Amino acid sequence: MLKRLRADFRLSIITILGATSLLGITPFAIMRFLQDDLVAGAIDTTLVLTIFGGMAYAWITGDTRRSGMVLAVIACSGAVVVAMVVGEVGLFWLYPCLVTTFFLVSPRVATLLNLTSIGVIVLQGDVFQDDIQKWTFTATAMVVSATAYAFALRTNSQRERLEQLATIDPLTGVKNRRSMDEELDLAAAHAERTGIPYALVMLDIDHFKKVNDEYGHGVGDEVLIDLVRLIQQSTRKSDELFRYGGEEFVLLLPGVDGAGLVAVMNNLQHILRKKMTHPGGPITVSVGVALLKHGESVGSWLERADGALYEAKEAGRDRVVFSDTMPAANPELAS
């Protein structure tokens, strides 16, 4: 639970909102029912139940975007209604909502919600004792919103930067192993639901250590970058490339199998053989390929692709080995 809260910022905000509404609004709902203020008590109870329900939905489904939007609208509209029902005392409920919206939805949507909420209350003249109180409220509410807006923009920027650092390989610009684990889990689940075939391709640069030792790590880095560029130019936008570690990469190919997969690998190997070079001459790549089997775990899938790659290395490198029986488009490719 704590791990999930640390990993999902919006879920943590939704959870805080749900917990604070339960602890903070419930006593007022009880008090108003005891005072026979049934309308205000009903509003408070509805707010608590709705916010708590939104929090439960976010936890169960993981859909924090929709639940965040719903909760932001409910929080702002609820605060406005409370202010209109109970008078100036209810104005205080709007301030936390003005801040919270920026962490539940995008800054643009939050700004629209805040301005709408402030505008509705200002137009409802009965809430204020006089014009001085009205414009004081307007000014303070606008300051709170502007400050929250600036803070949210800064926080979003930093969070996106951290997410990029955690999921992207800084040298090649492709996704790293952490991202790969998540994407393979999603691919396996999608394949199980839809029956769409998925192929896993493991690529390893042959004699890469020798390149680093003889020509330096700068040349080795250029070889890695060149490999990534060639693979991305030779594959579809729907295909995903990951740096598995060192000189080893993983390519995820959805929607291909059989002769189509053999043709794809044949074309990719032809391009790499033709264009991969370094100061000492051509660079070759060994490849292992495995098709996801029905009900197979991601771990087993990776092991079979890795086993095929090992066979390619043992058989002399510079070749593609399939873990599964494939129709051979080229005798040199099939195993």
Return the residue matching tokens 């560029």: 229
Of the candidates 164, 186, 170, 176, the residue with the CA atom closest to the CA atom of residue 242: 176
Q: Rounded to an integer, what distance in angstroms lies between the CA atom of residue 335 and that of residue 329?
A: 11
224's CB contacts (< 8 A; 6+ apart) are 171, 172, 205, 243, 247
Contact 252, 198 (CB under 8 A): yes
Q: CA-to-CA distance for 330 and 316, rounded, in angstroms?
A: 17
CA torsion 209-275-234-212 (nearest 10°) is 10
Of the residues 88, 183, 222, 247, only one is catalytic, namely 247
Give CA angle at 100 (96, 105), nearest 5°: 155
**Structure-token match 């419930």, residue found:** 26
Beta-ladder partners of 248: 204, 245
Give the CA radius of gyration of the chain.
29
**Is residue 183 flagged as an active site residue?**
no
Q: Which residues are catalytic?
A: 247
